[in-house]
A and B are shown apart, each in its own frame.
Chain A
Amino acid sequence: AQSVTQPDIHITVSEGASLELRCNYSYGATPYLFWYVQSPGQGLQLLLKYFSGDTLVQGIKGFEAEFKRSQSSFNLRKPSVHWSDAAEYFCAVGITGGGNKLTFGTGTQLKVEL
């Protein structure tokens, strides 16, 4: 079965600093890959997704993610973090066969210091 790992439970960055959130997946082929963000008290919102093509994907709110097949990774980046980016970030993997559902990682809580 596919799985997704987010090794960092909590990350703290200063406002204006760059950000990278890690995501690794386990699956024999290239899955569908997603990053969602959950602001406090809110539901999840899609930041970006990757299926194929250009391995650098642009999303909303200035985020981007890079798919690296050799490392089975799909890390999320932002060059300059804003205080409003404080939230929980979830990486998710989708496989069309084997249940046809999304599997979410455990999430990374981002704190932004002013």
Chain B
Amino acid sequence: DARVTQTPRHKVTEMGQEVTMRCQPILGHNTVFWYRQTMMQGLELLAYFRNRAPLDDSGMPKDRFSAEMPDATLATLKIQPSEPRDSAVYFCASGLGQPSTDTQYFGPGTRLTVL
């Protein structure tokens, strides 16, 4: 049963620290998404990649967030420096085809708390 995996599942850090979240997409999937879920904003798309190339990162605060895919089996989302308002659950999802039309397979999420 192929699944998207994310590490860590939980992260508590202090304001100003760097946070790195990792995602392993389902093998063979060529599209990877990063979402953020908060009570106030709901589920927001931060960025997505196709074939490891960033296609859209318009939802991501550029000054502190960065997303990369060093290889086809690893996607990373970094926050530097972190702020309390970054506290949220961050989901990675992967899929085949178009983001707007095809099924996305979500990981279990990383719950980030910034104190």
Contact = CB atoms under 8 A, between A and B. Distances in A.
A28 interface: no
Contacts of A42: 108-109
A43 B4 contact: yes
Nearest to A95: B100
Contacts of A90: 43
Contacts, number: 55
Interface string B93-113: 100001111011111110000
Interface string A32-65: 1000100001111110010100000000000000
Interface in A6-46: 32, 36, 41-46
Q: Which interface class (under 10, 10 to 19, 20 to 34, 35 or more) fits A? A: 20 to 34
Q: What size tier do the contact residues of chain B reach? A: 20 to 34
Contact of A43 (B42, B58, B107): B107
Contacts of A104: 42-43
Contact of B93 (A43, A95, A99, A106): A43
B91 A100 contact: no
Nearest to A38: B106
Interface residues of chain A: helix, strand, loop or mixed (majority): strand
Interface in B24-82: 42-43, 45, 48, 56, 58
Nearest to A43: B106
B100 A44 contact: no
Contacts of B99: 94, 100-102
A45 B98 CA distance: 17
A96 interface: yes
Contacts of A100: 56, 98-100
Nearest to A97: B100
Contact of A96 (B4, B43, B93, B101): B101
A42 B41 CA distance: 18
Contact of A107 (B42, B91, B100, B107): B42
Interface of A: 32, 36, 41-46, 49, 51, 90, 94-96, 99-102, 104-107
7 contacts: A36-B106, A43-B91, A43-B93, A94-B100, A96-B101, A101-B45, A102-B45
